[in-house]
Amino acid sequence: MTEMSAFIRGMPKTELHMHIEGSLEPELMFALARRNGVKLRWETPEALRAAYRFSDLQSFLDLYFEGCRVLMHEVDFYDVTAAYLRKAHEHGIVRAELFMGPQSFTSRGVSIDCVMNGVLRAMDDAKRERGISSGLMVSAHRHRTEGDALELLDQVMPWSDRILAIGMGGAEIGNPPSKFKSFFRECRGRGFRTTIHAGEASYVREAVELLEVDRIDHGNSCLADHGLARELAHRRIALTVCPLSNLRLNVVRSLRDHPLRAMMDAGLLATVNSDDPPYFDGYVSENLIECQRALQLSQEDIVRVVRNGFEAAFITEEERHRFLTAVDTYVGHA
């Protein structure tokens, strides 16, 4: 391990863009499949891992949603969340803000109670046992209707005081942010912070101007619209960037082509995250380490992007000050 790699792994960090159901390591997926009597189309965890060769977002989603079939009971949602938070703790994550898309499960008869209670109980236990701060972001599917999204919003209201934000993900083609204007207005009206996955510059603009979201997930193409990039920088609207996800889904040809450095040079509040770490071969530490190597980021650059994560986090100012002080202390003793 290089000195820079060790520095990155040890630093207190955030995770602001990670899908709980996308954190299933192959071994856990097979264990849950055995427990729940689910037949997977791969014979071994190694065969599943070998299938992580994606041509685009849809090829990934096809595999991703098949993996979701093993999550059926409250204990399953507890186990997958707890497993991720253990791993996050090992990587120096002190604040994790995690997506869960209940529609993948409620649409096939899993109760919303199983999903929410399992995830939240694991978060509570991780806080008590490891001191890791976490929050749940409920994610709606954009390939479904706006009515479906509004129904999901009603379903999760019993846990409204435990929900950090409402987000949206899934296949973007044919599902622009404007399709969900009323849904996001309702989310804001009920007091929720909001965020949405948006890749194309036009989608980022719609998300900012029509949906009035607090954060943009991905947002890689925003630099193509100079006025939009200036607005994002001026308003400090964070981008939750996922470099290894972009690489594995062929959004960029190599990490040397990734826009992270250009985002930072433009003054954007860019953060680095893992998205679906087993599928894309990297947790937050690996994302930062690989970007540092490919983009020749300095230690100062790395510290800046890590600090961006705490600035962008949905936390109190007291918590933000405490976390940033911990980063400064770490850097001062490194």
Tell me the catalytic residues: 200
Q: Count H helices, E strands: the chain?
A: 17, 8
191: left (phi over 0), alpha (psi -120 to 50) or beta: left
**DSSP-derived pairing of the beta strands 215-218 and 13-15:** unpaired
Q: Which amino acid is at 95?
A: R
DSSP of 276-303 = SHHHHT--HHHHHHHHHHHHT--HHHHH
* Assigned token pair, 238: 């964070």
Instruction: Label residue 24 exposed, middle or buried (CB < 10 Å: 0-12, 13-18, 19+).
Output: buried
**Sign of the four-CA dihedral 32, 34, 37, 42:** positive
Asked if residue 92 lies in contact with residue 12, where contact means CB atoms within 8 angstroms, the answer is yes
CA angle at residue 14 from 13 to 20, to 5 degrees?
Answer: 130
> How many angstroms separate the Cα of 272 from the Cα of each of 151, 160, 233, 241, 252?
32, 27, 16, 5, 15
